[in-house]
Structure 1
Amino acid sequence: MDQWEMMFKLILSGVLGALIGFERRSRFKQAGLRTHFVVAVGSALIMLVSKYGFQDFLEIPSVSIDPSRIAAQVVSGVGFLGAGTIIVEHQFVRGLTTAAGLWATAGIGIAIGAGMYIPGIGATIFIVIGLEIFNRVQKNSAHCLGKVVLSLDGIDPVLDILKNSKVRISNIQVNRHYNKNNKDSEAKIMFRMYSVNQSQRKDIMVNILRIPYVKNVNIE
């Protein structure tokens, strides 16, 4: 294959990966435009090397080549990169979509490197449109995460405020642990709230902070 055609494949792969990365970046995700661009170009390059990089060995009768072996390692290798974008915080998992996007971007790079232009471009358009559609759908069920650190006597008043906040609340969890500094026990209330706007979030935080037993409250 002409090496200029290979360069075209790398450029096209980078552009397609950047489209997915731009969508992720617009959502303030950890892996954005640059990461997806590099993953796409790198995957296309590995596919080109796997497919065309060992043609000089084909003249040796005793040597057999499987061009899919190197490219196959991209699928598992990108998994480690995607794992770095997944964050587990207070039993809530974030970054799964971005990790899946990196994995899909690697697949697009492999497809372009293999010369499958229509499937690669089609997958990119389908992923970008799908992400945009599902992001809009998710806004209707948007949620925020909250955490309240307080002494044990303040658990009931905080739970009453959350119950009377007139928003849909799920995943309320109370963890009790020993505080070495104050030599007493304290609790952490972690919760997930749905259909909460900025004004409601502020009112809930203010009402919780008025409770004297509350030490810290955070809703994001």
Structure 2
Amino acid sequence: MFELLSIAPFHWSKVGSAILCGLIVGLERQLRGKPVGIRTSALIVLGTYLFIAASNSLNNDMTDTSRIIGQVVTGVGFLGAGVMLAKDGIVVGVTSAATIWVLAAIGVSIYVAGELTAIKISVLVVAILYGVDAMEEYFASLTRGVHSKFNSWKNKQK
């Protein structure tokens, strides 16, 4: 029975924390109607953890498992590029692309720094995503330049 439930070299607690971290960040994005929601966020964090854990289980004289982290960063760069668009002379989706990037970093941190650290970082990411929007509503000086163009474009889309 134990063999049936085993997912070695992975750990159920880390898989669960990857899904939780994706849920924490993805819920904020999904509630705002952004392209990187719960499902995508959970899969990015989980996939990143699985790649890092799998590469570290192959550790021998012929492998350099640290290269996998670099490959993950490159791979999620393509995902991030896919959510960025130029509309009416304004680039949109940069925050979603940055969110994808940090989600991959959270997946790495689950393996490297532990589940609790990754959960704390996920909460910090949500605080940044939500907090900056709240500050922009309160301080008009934060909506100058390209941000004023984006906000007027965003209001036209509603």
The TM-score normalised by the length of structure 2 is: 0.79
Aligned pairs, number: 146
Alignment CA distance shift 1:4-1:78 (3 Å):
closer
Please give the alpha-carbon distance, in whole angstroms, between the structure 1 residues aligned to 2:78 and 2:49.
18
Q: How far is the alpha carbon of 1:125 from its aligned partner?
A: 1.6
- The question of 1:29 aligning with 2:27 is answered no
Please give the alpha-carbon distance, in whole angstroms, between the structure 2 residues aligned to 1:125 and 1:31.
16
The DSSP-based 3-state class of the residue aligned with 2:83 is coil
- The question of 1:9 aligning with 2:14 is answered yes
Identity %: 30
User: Which residue in 1 is equivalent to 2:4?
Assistant: none
- The question of 1:41 aligning with 2:39 is answered no
- Computing the radius of gyration from Cα coordinates, the structure with the larger value is 1
Name the structure with the higher strand share.
1
Please give the alpha-carbon distance, in whole angstroms, between the structure 1 residues aligned to 2:108 and 2:150.
41
Please give the alpha-carbon distance, in whole angstroms, between the structure 2 residues aligned to 1:65 and 1:4.
17
Alignment CA distance shift 1:116-1:90 (3 Å):
same
Does the 8 Å CA contact 1:30/1:85 hold for their aligned counterparts? Answer: yes
What letter is aligned with 1:35?
T
Name the structure with the higher helix share.
2
Does the 8 Å CA contact 1:9/1:115 hold for their aligned counterparts? Answer: no
Larger displacement relative to structure 2 (34-43 or 122-131): 122-131
Structure having greater relative contact order (Cα 8 Å, sep ≥ 6): 2
Please give the alpha-carbon distance, in whole angstroms, between the structure 2 residues aligned to 1:193 and 1:37.
28
Equivalent of 1:101 in 91, 95, 99: 99
